[in-house]
Amino acid sequence: MANYKIHDNPVRDEWAAKIGQLKTLAKGAEFLTDFRTKHTTPLRENYDLELDWCWIESKIEEKVALLKHAELNDDQFLNNCTCGANAQEVADVTVAKMDACTDKYEAEKLHINFRRDNKPPIMPTNVFMDADRLLGTKLMELRNTGYYDLSLEELRKERGVKIITIQ
């Protein structure tokens, strides 16, 4: 029987090497945001890493958190995003957009993009969690109003769902 470890594979090894080369918070944060855009969320650019993206993202987050700890003082750590912007101001902008939003699909995109761009360690957890709660509450209100008004077929058409049948 082969000496096989379930979590070891060439894809993860390749990404671990890339992550190991990150030496500054700025590069790490940029790398993490780029990775999330390309390989996570329902709006991702591709599905190449379908089996490994979650593991890889967690390892990048771990590296960025360590770089953040090393480069930021306590005040910056608790109040700023990794780019240096005031976290509460960044969150307030998205919450204001969500408050003004009346379309559930636009609200979904706002929430997804907020998480993609700001999920810790990019934004401090204390700010992120409160903003995420506010965004999610408004999204649920928009989604749940008139939820049963559309038939399943209409909902599928509105969402652009393609039905695949196996014979």
What are 44-84's pLDDT values in tens digits?
888 899 889 999 999 999 999 999 999 999 999 999 999 99
Residue 13 placed within a domain? yes
The pLDDT tens digits of the residues spanning 94-151 come to 999 999 999 999 999 999 999 999 999 999 999 999 999 999 999 999 988 877 788 8
Range of the domain at 152: 80-167
- Residue 166 pLDDT: 84
Does 54 share its domain with 129? no
Does 51 share its domain with 87? no
- Confidence at 1, pLDDT banded by 50, 70, 90: very low
Domain boundary pick from 21, 40, 71: 71
Task: Return all residues near 160 (Cβ < 8 A) that are at least 6 apart.
Answer: none
Residue 1 placed within a domain? no
Structural domain total, the chain: 2
Question: In this model, does residue 24 exceed pLDDT 80?
Answer: yes
Does 63 share its domain with 117? no
Q: Copy the structure tokens of residue 65.
A: 């958190």
Q: How far apart are CA 135 and CA 112, in angstroms?
A: 10
Cα–Cα distances (Å) from 65 to 58, 125, 158, in that order, read: 10, 11, 40
Q: How far apart are CA 7 and CA 75, in angstroms?
A: 37
